């Protein structure tokens, strides 16, 4: 079998690239290790930058997002029992869209199906070969059969635990990492969200986030020690802790109920340089990870795919290799700015084991400064809504 671009990973990065290239007449095959149900069963991101919204519309998958998503013109930061509103629309002229990654992925799968796209689930032992030569190919096993796909290029969209990043020789690869000493315990509940906009709460007991998926599906998180297990947290214990960490006026009207999903996600900052090696191009979590505090993970995947889509289009349509040659540097320039923002929001809002009372006061004084400074609010807002591509 031969294809122009072999895409490893059927998450949002891989599917979005496949869909955008299809609309350019460029042939792709997507190899996904897990079943479609498993991929669609993951509960992850919730906030889309407007650049991501525009890109999904360009891919022809924006209709349900536009109908069911929620446009948010601001967000709330909470500390010391009060909230500070960051008005994105007034400060930057932009908004964000609240529409779950699960829905984005489902819309992308539907579009690939409608276009007769080739997405192969259950692809095991995917391996990349001859990436720095003219015989690039991918092998995998499925239903006990070995398969081989010759290709012009490989897009490594297989997430943090995938195989693509490892295909870059260790002598070439440079990795940067910070692992945070806590995780996020997240729940979904069929209850009304406590607020119309998101609440990011700093509290001396730890961080909390109030988010949503729709008017009857709320998404909440509390910071927990890395030693915690999901089974340590009953629903009652979760609601009690969340109420302690958000302002009293919100806690008083919080609608609680049985959780329909509960999971703990570790937090890390991670970047792999370069994001390209020979005919392999990394995109999304395969190349970088951010703590979800800045709502950047899915959105960084989107900007990577935007750059790679244009680079591959220019190569096949115009014989112009500049985009491919410049992909890694261009993507990393935006990746590092989002890494910085996500790191800074995580440091501002979470309780670190060794920060002590002085560290808590530093966080509270930075929030006081934010409350009083239009310049500081504008800086936060322009990073949150998404820096230019």
Binding status of residue 137 toward ligand FAS by CB under 6 A: no
162 binding ligand FAS? (CB under 6 A) = yes
Tell me if residue 200 is catalytic: yes
Please tell me whether residue 284 binds ligand FAS under the rule CB under 6 A.
yes
Q: Which stretch binds ligand PHB (CB under 6 A): 3-11, 42-50, 139-147, 229-237?
A: 42-50
Each residue 195-224 as x (binds ligand PHB by CB under 6 A) or -, in order, gives: ---x------------x-------x-----
Which partner, ligand FAS, ligand PHB, none, binds residue 158 by CB below 5 to 8 Å per kind?
A: ligand FAS
> Of 137, 203, 296, 350, which is the active-site residue?
296
Instruction: Pull the structure tokens for residue 125.
Output: 């032992």
Main-chain dihedrals φ then ψ at residue 155, nearest 5 degrees: -105, 115
Contact stretch for ligand FAS (CB under 6 A) within 65-73, 156-164, 230-238, 352-360: 156-164
User: Is position 316 annotated as part of the catalytic site?
Assistant: no
**What residues contact 145, with CB distance under 8 A and at least 6 apart?**
none
Active site residue 243: no
- Which pairs count as long-range contacts for 316-323, CB under 8 Å and 24+ apart, including other chains? 316/4, 316/24, 316/26, 317/24
Active-site annotation holds for 109: no
Given 58, 265, 376, 379, the residue binding ligand FAS (CB under 6 A): 265
* Number of residues near ligand PHB (by CB under 6 A): 9
Whose CA is closest to 276, among 160, 173, 177, 176? 173
Among candidates 277, 326, 332, which has minimal Cα distance to 304? 332
DSSP string covering 288-355, please? EE--GGGS-HHHHHHHHHHHHHHHHHHHHHH---HHHHHHHHHHHHHHHHHHHHHHHHHHHHS--TT-
Contacting residues toward ligand FAS, per CB under 6 A: 8-14, 31-34, 39, 44-46, 101, 123, 126, 157-159, 161-163, 265, 284-285, 292, 295-298, 301
């Amino acid at each position: 079998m031969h294809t122009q671009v072999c895409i490893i990973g059927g998450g949002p990065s891989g599917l979005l690239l496949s869909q955008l290239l299809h609309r350019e007449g460029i042939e792709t095959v997507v190899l996904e290790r897990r079943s479609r149900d498993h991929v669609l069963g993951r509960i992850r991101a919730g906030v889309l930058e407007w650049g991501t919204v525009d890109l999904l519309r360009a891919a022809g998958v924006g209709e349900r997002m536009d109908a069911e998503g929620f446009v948010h013109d601001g967000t709330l930061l909470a500390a010391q029992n009060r909230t500070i509103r960051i008005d994105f629309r007034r400060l930057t002229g932009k908004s964000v869209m609240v529409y779950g990654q699960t829905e984005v992925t489902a819309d992308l799968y539907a579009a690939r199906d409608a276009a007769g796209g080739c997405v192969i689930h259950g692809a095991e032992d995917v391996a990349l070969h001859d990436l720095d030569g003219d015989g690039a190919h991918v092998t995998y096993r499925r239903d006990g059969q070995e398969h081989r796909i010759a290709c012009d290029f490989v897009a490594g969209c297989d997430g943090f635990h995938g195989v693509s990043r490892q295909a870059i020789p260790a002598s070439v690869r440079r990795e940067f990492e910070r692992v945070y000493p806590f995780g996020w315990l997240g729940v979904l509940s069929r209850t009304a969200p406590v607020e119309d906009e998101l609440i990011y709460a700093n509290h001396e007991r730890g961080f909390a986030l109030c988010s949503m998926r729709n008017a009857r599906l709320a998404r909440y998180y509390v910071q927990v020690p890395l030693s915690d297990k999901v089974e340590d947290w009953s629903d009652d214990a979760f609601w009690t802790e969340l109420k302690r960490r958000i302002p009293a006026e919100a806690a008083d009207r919080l609608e609680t109920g049985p959780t329909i999903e509960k999971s703990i996600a570790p937090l890390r900052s991670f970047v792999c340089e370069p994001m390209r090696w020979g005919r392999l191009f990394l995109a999304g979590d395969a190349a970088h990870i951010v703590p979800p505090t800045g709502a950047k993970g899915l959105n960084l995947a989107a900007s990577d795919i935007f750059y790679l889509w244009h680079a591959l289009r220019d190569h096949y349509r115009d014989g112009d290799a500049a985009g491919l040659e410049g992909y890694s540097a261009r993507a990393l320039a935006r990746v590092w700015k989002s890494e910085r923002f996500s790191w800074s929001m995580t440091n501002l809002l979470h309780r670190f084991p060794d920060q002590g009372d002085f560290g808590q006061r530093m966080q509270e004084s930075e929030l006081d400064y934010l409350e009083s400074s239009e310049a500081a609010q504008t800086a936060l807002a322009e990073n949150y809504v998404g820096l230019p591509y």
